[in-house]
Structure 1
């Protein structure tokens, strides 16, 4: 069936019944390639390179800062050790000076104690309860020993004005002697039976 003006073989096949449409749902769209275009691949490569370089640069900066911090920490530790060493040197100087002063003070104290014992030993045996040991003990109490801790304590406390009065040990010693003298005097005043 060929009509003039219609020269379409597909139309003729549909009319005659021997035609099957290869695309019954319409013309298919052309297939699109999946993946990146060459421009996308280039951009991804550049971005990856920038991130890698930035990370490397940042790591180098961090490592350098960490090394500087470690060096500064070591310098501070060395300075602290030097300060401790200087403090120990000064403490040793102070202790040496305190020991020399203590030795001088104790030497002077020993002289004072010996003088006190010499002046009071004549009472030994004459007064009741007075022995050489009690005289020595009273004199040592009157002149206490000086230790380095006493000197350090004295150095840290403020000086209080002294009233110049007698020490407690001296007062106790004089009181004991006075009681002894009173006892002897009372015993000697008793009339003896004739």
Structure 2
């Protein structure tokens, strides 16, 4: 049966590119900010480009943090892409201004400490062994990145009842940052799978297969 995906329209992100990529792997995609549609879909994809603060303003305008939270409370899959991943953390610090994020994961988005920014182009990812997200994807395969900010330290603290998230890393200019997180129904990538060709399509297919 075809899986339905709501692609959250909150004024940020290349929605057409993400829509085409998800449709390519067999999803029935609706670009929407309608709460009922967002909550009813098999999966919710949250893209994002630009500044953390402006993305959060747009997200709050369509009640995005609440909708994401409600889906996750019911173990309903969510996929964050690029800044759509960053906003899932506690906060973003840009030009000395801190903006509160969705708070699904602890951590702060900060400027990469690299000699050349933005980090733009193809890069490998230090995958976690046994990852469902990267199933069938070789360790040397490359994904497409465009960003100057990232999560440079992982601060998640689990307990005996919590399954630790699977965190994959990448490196640019000597600075390491979180490239992807797989945390039960919540997946996120700093890179753009929708711009990463056949390998990105395989990752999106892996996500669709979990819906």
TM-score by length of 1: 0.21
Q: Which has the higher contact order (CA 8 A, sep 6+)?
A: 2
Is the radius of gyration larger for structure 1 or structure 2?
Answer: 1
